[in-house]
Amino acid sequence: MEDRDKGKGPSPDVKPAWTGGQSIRDQEGLWREVLNMAAEVEAAFKRAVTAVCDGRLDLVESVRADEAAIDRWEVRIEAECLRVLALYGLVASDLRRVVAALRINRDLEGVADIAENLAKRARKVVNDPAAAPFLPRLRGLADEAIAVVDGGFAALKTVDASLARRVIAADNAVNAHRSTIISELKAAVRSDPDRTKTWLRLIASARNLERAADHATNIAESVVYMKEGVILRRGDRDDRDD
């Protein structure tokens, strides 16, 4: 019996002893990278808001540099997610965490892109006297968007599904505030068409702030999926303004 078995490899259903420990280490390393990237993205978004709403043009270049670094980071995390998925036969919560990491990674990069867009527009907005009366309104929207981003990233860090659900609900207020501001700016376009470029820059900034909150809400949905295995659907969005 021993002779017949000699030279045979392990059963295909038996994984090497190191696989379990290595899989856990790789997953933990991947998750740390996601959380580290989230912290950088959150900081970059807040700097971009400060640049536009508070006239801190000294922050513009650092935001743009951050975005380039975050782009590279996003590519590395995606590659690592795919490697872990291909290498290990993950199931249940382990599989959900890696799939969630892949989704969250893309939303983090989306927030970073928005931060860069805000920063690029900052000089023209800040140096435009016609835009000044609207900046407090934009700041109010920005504060609401920051609250959603902070909440979404806090839910991510703690894997708190209850907090994530509160973040998802809070996004509705950001959407409503954005719609109100854009309606006012469209009225300004009609009443003062000579300053259309000013109003369009402010409209674009308001949309960017609302979309940053959307990405944070997506992250909150991914947290619920990771924790509970529930896929939340808010329906197709229509970003057009009536």
> Would 2 be classed as within a structural domain?
no
Q: Which two tokens stand for residue 216?
A: 């944070």
Domain around 117: 18-228
Specify the CATH number for the domain of residue 80: 1.20.58.220
**pLDDT for 20:** 66
pLDDT tens, residue by residue, 26-58: 999 999 999 999 999 999 999 999 999 999 999
Lowest-pLDDT range of 138-142, 166-170, 196-200, 233-237: 233-237
Instruction: Give CA–CA dist 50/215, Å, rounded.
Output: 19
- Number of domains observed in the structure of the chain: 1
**Hey, what are 92's tokens?**
């249940």
Amino acid (1-letter code) at residue 223: V
Residue 130 maps to a domain: yes
Phi, psi of 160 (to 5 degrees): -105, 105
pLDDT digit string, tens, across residues 107-158: 999 999 999 999 999 999 999 999 999 999 999 999 999 999 999 999 999 9
CA 94 to chain centre: 22
In a domain, 59, yes or no: yes
Structure tokens at 69: 């670094």
pTM of the model: 0.86
In eight-state DSSP terms, residue 195 is G
